[in-house]
Amino acid sequence: MAYTLKIGSKSPHFSLCGTDCVSHSLNDFDGSKVLVVFFTCNHCPYVIASDPYTLKTYEEFNPLGVDFVAINSNSPKTHEEDSFENMVACMEEKKFPWLYLSDAEQKVALDYGALKTPHFYVFDNERKLIYTGRALDNPLEPEKATVNDLKNALREHLAGKLVTVPVTNPIGCNIKWEGKDEHWMPPQACDLV
């Protein structure tokens, strides 16, 4: 069995506390034509470098009915920068337009099979997975990126086409699991392609 969600899978349910100190669930996005769930954090250099590009993607597609929700599943015991308090500070500073949720128990990361930060999942209006993987092919040096697979998937889907490349390997730092070395990954987790 694959570690991460397979294309066509239904989006696993979540109910998590956001940096607004309100609980948010998958059902809150029932009105969204498309939902992008992405696993992220505060400290990862891949996330920090590519955040402005994620924001540009949001700004391009949100008016077309695409919502984004960010989830931080990292243990703050590995990187204190990923604590809930620092999540709140990050949102106050950067003012991202999406919700930023804390997966403190790391259950949602396991349910989705999140491998890295950032790791994107795109679900259609029936909440079936149509794309998973990276956004940019070079998130650490985004100015050198040659492809934005997240944008391509959204453009194709909204145009009524099948996503040409539905699975890519996410590029970034691995999820920081509670009580594990910072480089540890679940043994069943491996590259997607």
User: pLDDT (tens digit, 9 = 90+) per residue, 70-87?
Assistant: 999 999 999 999 999 999
Domain boundaries, the chain: 35-174
User: What would the two tokens of residue 193 be?
Assistant: 């392609």
Does domain 35-174 fall under CATH 1.10.150.650? My reply is no
**pLDDT above 50: residue 100:** yes
pLDDT band, residue 3 (cuts 50/70/90) = confident
pTM attached to this predicted model? 0.95
* Helix (H/G/I), strand (E/B), else coil: 109: helix
State mean pLDDT over 89-117. Answer: 97
Q: Are 68 and 58 in contact (CB under 8 A)?
A: yes
pLDDT band, residue 2 (cuts 50/70/90) = low
Helix 149-158 × helix 45-61 angle, to 10°: 20
